[in-house]
Structure 1
Amino acid sequence: MPLIPVTRSIAIDSDEIEESFTRAGGPGGQGVNTTDSAVMLRFDVRNSPNLPDAVKIRLDAIAGSRMTREGVLVLRSEGARSQLLNRQEVRERLFDLIREATFVPKKRKPTKPSRAAKAKRMDGKSKRSAVKNLRGKVFD
């Protein structure tokens, strides 16, 4: 059970990653019909003991439709003709998603506009109103 480092503080057990192989679609000649080069990776996020709860919650939000109701992240790669390259690519996408989920977004501090900003806005509104008032009908 070797651990795969994802970040400095998070490492995933290789047994937690389940990979299956299928035939890839698209061009590739006769090799497409004979080789199982597409890779489907499944990673159980909810039951992973190596991920902190906060990361699990953010990863669920980031993954979107790639996450099942049971909390399993499903990724697929069939871009390369080589099974090895597809395995590396799909694993790197998994690690990138986990790294993205480790970043905690900063809380927004609500601010109010300054007095000068309010005055500038009101001045602009009054100038625009004056321009529009000049567009009316002309009387003798």
Structure 2
Amino acid sequence: MRYLALLFLALAATACQQQESPDDFYRGYNQKVIAGMASLEEDAAYYSARKRQEMAAHLEAFMAQSHKTKAQAIAFYLDFSHAVAKCKKITLVSQQQDGDVANLTYNQQDVCGNPTAVPETQKVRLVREDGWKIDDISLSL
């Protein structure tokens, strides 16, 4: 009986916890990219089903254009993402949420000694698919 009571309390506590905010989700992803994603599968887990399909098509096109193997193309993508993320400090400017869609805008500041004359921004659209997932990212570098 005690076990059932503890199980009920644990389930109730989990149900009452606030869901992760879109900004918290994206910042967590950004920190993982800065640390270096271990694999494309780990990175893809943060993306919506639509975005994963789009990325697969881009990967195939990149492989054909660059004559790189799949492993080389994936390594290039992960390295490039890591290099960009580690050099950009992001600051949330706006967060708009409408149901299962959130739009985030961040200012970016280069922290690797490459200042720019124009402000840099990141615009991120998230959708809810078993939690928040990245559906689109646009960068102005």
**If the TM-score is normalised by the length of the shorter chain, which range does it land in?**
under 0.3
The two structures have a TM-score, normalised by structure 2, of 0.27
The two structures have a TM-score, normalised by structure 1, of 0.27
Higher strand proportion (structure 1 or 2): 2
